[in-house]
Amino acid sequence: MALDILFTSLALSLPPLLLLLLLLSAKKFNNKKKNLPPGPPPLPIIGNLHQLGHLPHQSLWKLSQQHGPVMLVHLGGIPTVIVSSPSAAREILRTHDLNCCSRPRLLGTGRLSYDYLDIAFVEYGDYWREVRKISVLELFSAKRTESFRYVREEEVASMIDSIAKSANSGTPINMSERFMALTADITCRVAFGKAFQGTKFDDGRLMHMVHEGLAMLGSFSASDFFPRFGWIVDRFTGLHSRMEETFSNLDAFYQQVIEEHRNANKSNEENEDIVDLLLKMERDQTELATIRFKEDNIKAILMDIFLGGVDTGALTLDWAMAELARNPRVMRKAQEEIRSCVGNKKQVVEDDLHKLKYLKLVLKESMRLHPPSVLLIPRETMGHFKLFGYDIEPKTRVQVNVWGIGRDPSLWEHPEEFVPERFEDSPIDYKGNHFELLTFGAGRRGCPAILMGMATVELALANVLHSFDWELPEGMKEGDVSMEEGPGLTVFKKVPLTLMPVRPSHETNV
């Protein structure tokens, strides 16, 4: 009887077991058949992390020269596809944009965005669609950008006045700091309604919060590459406690700004800043609203604006001015255009900018060589698709190497040289339509604040070149200007740019 029961049990269980074995074999066979992108062989556990180096975008570009413009690397346990050509970028950012428009959940972005309540780092879904719509139609629209024109013009004029004092005394200026202070004041006035120069925030704390926030967003977190045990490493290295301290400081800052606005009882919509606008949305929302807009939502969006707005514009100006200091021919040509168009006016205003064609070429060329975001913020695939015949699996991270595309000798003649004229009669722009120049990304995840950001950059650079001639500090030659990069979410000049402002010979006053 016992044997009968055993044989009966085996007979009943054998078909399911055989089916399970067949399914497992089929899965293994299918995995073998998948045509994954080429890439360097990974080591156990760490994958290819050891090959990233101090400046990952440069290391990945060198690896892509060996393995191709669509390359698979393993960052710890995370498969990541690195895209390094315009045609491959077009496939990711346009053809397969919907499949590639989500974001991975990372330690820094999750914490500083109040668990993904912002615009830039939130996963794709209903919430992202709603906040993206708010950003495009309300926060960064052409009308809103124009409404803050007076802020940009006032703050640039203030910067020029402060530079004039250094010109009078013959004192060199740290232009890297000066540009950062400018974009900080403009961003704070646009977002919070006031600049912080001369207030209780103007004691280094504000810029420290910016630097710490950006460092945490771009930090190497073991949790991001080793999800099962990385948190132990992050606590051991002190990253977790540093992250919490940064979050606490930023949160207290946002809270104070919000409370000041709640108590202000503003009535003049002409001077409405972004916090006013977000608080009005919170007040006016109905029970039928798709998303519930609360204080943490406001803080998360302020994080995007505050950290992104201060950093990106300042770095763009810094790199452009450094290239001009190294290339006096280009600087003179840009100055001649500006001074010819503006005439005897003391200040370049935004109405003048459309006439400054060569200045726009200078900025395109600078952003080709020095995009602030050298690797676009990582995307995460939501389903399987084919990229140039390669299988791209769900939950794969994808990053576009904008820095590498900008220096590809197959795309650009003499790519390491600074030649703005290469963009003459070229349709290539930075607005997401041309994948050779992806300064602000493209597709659904493209930066919504292009208009506002570039208005600041163009106005500031035009005025700096219009109001002063520029010399290197005594003993320096053009080739001595350091172009060494520092690591981070955005790439800054490792050695700050120091220049000497000189009044133009035809002027007596600035």
207 token code pair:
């810029």
Q: Is the dihedral of CA 255, 260, 266, 271 positive or negative?
A: negative
For 463-506, give the DSSP string.
HHHHH-EEEPPTT--GGGS---EE-SSS-EESS--EEEEE--TT
- Does 101 show up as a binding residue in the annotation? no
Residue with tokens 């820095």: 403
Those residues with Cβ within 8 angstroms of residue 342's Cβ, 6 or more apart along the chain or in another chain: 348, 352, 466
- CA dist 93 and 379 (Å) reads 10
| 79 HSE (CA, 13 A, CB side) | 14
Distance CA 305, CA 285 (A): 22
CA distances 402 to 105, 180, 414, 491, 501, Å, are 22, 23, 17, 12, 33
177-210 burial code (b ≥16 CB/10 A, e <16): ebbbbbbbbbbbbbbbbebbbeeebeeeebbebb
- Phi/psi of residue 155, each to 5°? -70, -35
Q: Which residue has the tokens 């798709």?
A: 290
* Residues in the annotated binding site: 447
* Residues in the annotated binding site for heme: 447
